[in-house]
A and B are shown apart, each in its own frame.
Chain A
Amino acid sequence: MNLLSKAATTLLLISLTSVSYATPEQDKETFQSFYTERFPDISKADFGDGVYALDQDARDQWEAMNDFPPYEDNLEEGEILFSTPFENGKNYASCFENGGENIRQNYPKFDSKRNMVVTLELAINECRINNDEEPLPYKKGDIAKISAYMASTSEGSEINIATPTSKAELAAYDAGKQYFYSKRGQLNFSCANCHIQNVGRKARSETLSPALGHPTHFPVYRMKWESFGTLQRRFDTCNKQVRAEPLPGQSEAYRNLEYFMTYMSNGLPVNGPASRK
């Protein structure tokens, strides 16, 4: 009996280990297939429209609203902020490859020298610090406007996060993956509980959006916020909704989560900034 229970435990551990040690490519394949099989009438690229890919009524209203996007003024401000030189005469373009244009699809990226994930917003603030400017508060405000402008220059480019391969990259990727699938908060929900297992179903009056494509359209202008917010601002909202304490902007856990989620959406076109309810 003792031997049997040991064997059963070993088998269980092996099965769990084999699942958790799927390669990032395998994870991405499974992740994307889940959605394309569940919603065979929706093209992969359309998942970037979030809930509007699933709900035709909501899509009709959203498309009508986008005749005059509510974020236009904020986007223009973002362009001005991006182009305004720092006191030392340099500007954001001097910090990024390709002058900061058409690069959104490559972020977050893993910095092997520092062994950490660098999101676009973190890179924006590092650019400021390197040019003797004060960092901007994360999640909303000017940093979201600048990020939105940069995203707009990437429209149509496919998300292209380098596949994690090194030990450090995989550690960050796995941490983000575990965060995504772990239940948290008093309501005991994981990201996956809403955006995978219950995708397309209702939570009260809201249709739950697919996680595939979540990072393609951020920063997002939400009517509720009346301003742009970064993906990490949205993480805060989700955390609060399940009664978990949100994390500080650009905390390691949030950066790793963004890294994992964006890699899962590799191949989808950037379609941000976008508007949401």
Chain B
Amino acid sequence: MKLKALALILIIGLFCTSANATTAADAEKSIQSAQNLWDKTKLAGHEWNTIKPLVAQAKQSLDNKKYAVAIELANKATQQAKLALIQAEHEKTNWLNNLPK
């Protein structure tokens, strides 16, 4: 019984350690991914002003070693950048629907 408990603690400890280690790298990766998509929205001429603060906050959280928060914010920025790019793609043709009739 004691042996099982010890094994369980060791396994949990192992996961916790690896989670922390990967989270830092993941946060950087998530922020970079958000940054890349954000840059694409600028090129497409459809940058949303909601993305910049999310990326800034994600970077701040990374600096503060709050990796999970950083990833969450970066993912939100990524999601919004994706939507902005979808908007840019749609508006290549859909703008014609707004002409006065």
Contact = CB atoms under 8 A, between A and B. Distances in A.
Interface of A: 16, 19-20, 30-31, 34, 178-179, 181-186, 188, 190, 192-193, 196-197, 239-240, 243-246, 253
Interface in B10-59: 42, 45-52
A244 B98 CA distance: 18
Contact of B49 (A179, A192, A239): A239
A144 B90 CA distance: 36
23 contacts: A19-B96, A34-B100, A178-B95, A181-B95, A181-B96, A182-B91, A182-B95, A183-B94, A183-B98, A184-B87, A186-B80, A186-B83, A188-B87, A190-B95, A192-B99, A196-B98, A197-B98, A240-B49, A243-B48, A245-B48, A245-B49, A245-B51, A253-B45
B96 A20 contact: yes
Interface SS, B side = helix
Interface residues of B, number: 22
Interface of B: 42, 45-52, 80, 83-84, 87, 90-91, 93-96, 98-100
A197 to B, nearest CB: 7
A30 B100 contact: yes
B99 A19 contact: yes
| The 4 A-B residue pairs with the shortest CB-CB distance in the complex, in nearest-first order | A34-B100, A245-B47, A181-B98, A181-B95
Q: Which of the listed residues B51, B83, B98 has the most CB atoms from chain A within 10 Å of its own CB?
A: B98
A183 B83 CA distance: 12
Contacts of A193: 98
Contacts of B99: 19, 30, 181, 192
Contact of A244 (B47, B83, B93): B47
A185 B49 CA distance: 7
B96 A245 contact: no
